[in-house]
Chains A and B, each alone.
Chain A
Amino acid sequence: MTVKKFKLFLAPDVEKEEQWLNEMSRQGLHLIKYQYFMYVFEEDPGKSYVYQIDFRQDAKKDYFQLYEDAGWEYMTNALSSFYYFRTNATKSTIPKLYSDKESIHDSYRRMFGFYWLIFILFLVSQVGVFITWKGYLLQYMMVVVDIVIVALYLYMFYAFNKRINFYRRR
């Protein structure tokens, strides 16, 4: 049997998302698919997994093979950039995809760069609204939407920065 849940996590909160998935798995609901904020879980009270999310933009065949060799099962992805893996939670140590601070730091920096690029493209795409400004109601509405989106991105960059500084060496 499958269970579906909607939930919104922002990219800087991947660790919170992982914790949530692990908690769900402890309760017998194991993520098998993610699509547009919808998480699909498979019910099996007899099992428990540890989930980890990996940000990659160069995921090729050898990438999935390496994770599989290391005992991680690939489940699903978001935006072809966030890859969800799981492994059995029966081991005594808590398994992690990243074994040092430096590589976690790198991972958040790559995420920052990715969203920065999207943000710049978004700004460029909105230039037209201001060039053709005629004071229409629709244009005012678009400006309000833009302000919300810009605020969301600024919050994300602030959160990314906090993580990046936290995982900086020394």
Chain B
Amino acid sequence: MAVTPEPVWPDGRRSCVMLAFDVDGPSGSAMVDGSIWGMPRLFVQGAYGPFRAVPRILDLLERLGVPATFFVPSWVVEHWPDVCRDILASGHEVGHHGYRHERYADLSVPEQESVLQRSQAIFEAQLGVRALGFRTPTGDWHEATPRLLAEHGFVYSSSFRDDDRPYRRVIDGRVSDLVEIPAPVELDDYAYFAFTEDPPFPKGHDRIAAYRVTLSNWCKEFDGMHRAGGLLTTTFHPKISATPGRAVVLERFVEHMVAVGDCWFATGTEVARWVLSHPERFAVRGETGWDGVREEGT
């Protein structure tokens, strides 16, 4: 297993890191159903992300000279436009993450189109750019979502869990230009740190993980991905993993990856463009294997 992986990244780099943050702020299911307006403490706890944590992260990235991708629900863009402009001005990327962090699996096709169009209009009006990247808010997407993303000019999604490097997605039986950049749950800070009193999260009010152990897990995931020559992306939420103390951990994690030296730090669009310009180096994946299995069985 110590074999050098086949080189797929620019300049002979061994692995790739797409550092990514989901700036949900107070958006999410409680904003979609409107209950957030009766939960001012939950609102303020969520708003901590764009208000305090994103500025802290931008400082950190500047110190370490690393680019990142921020998936921002457009409601957050509307209410924190200056913070989002600062993300772009600092050389990072912004991607789509719903309007109020809607779960795409719950939306009809016209509803999905409406969220995409409204969000792109907000991005253009407030930030002067359209999103090229997409990350599913709250779990699953709808079976029509990938087709809609391709039709609306998206270049990539970073939503799935099914590989440790990007691939080109098959949509309606044809290889599309929509790249998928899988994001492993081990690098999702919710699995370690997220906590709300009421409603309880995690549901059983599990303990907040040890920061030291979390950092160790993350570093091991990176070390393994680097060994395997893959791509590691993160699902870090500023409000969760950029409190004052956790930002110290985040900084140590990024320092650990930077110290390796031959890792390509890229934004989502840079990764997707690289995949599309070197199609022979990356896999093509079907929609799902499950339908085929089911058909064979019947």
Say whether A associates with B: no
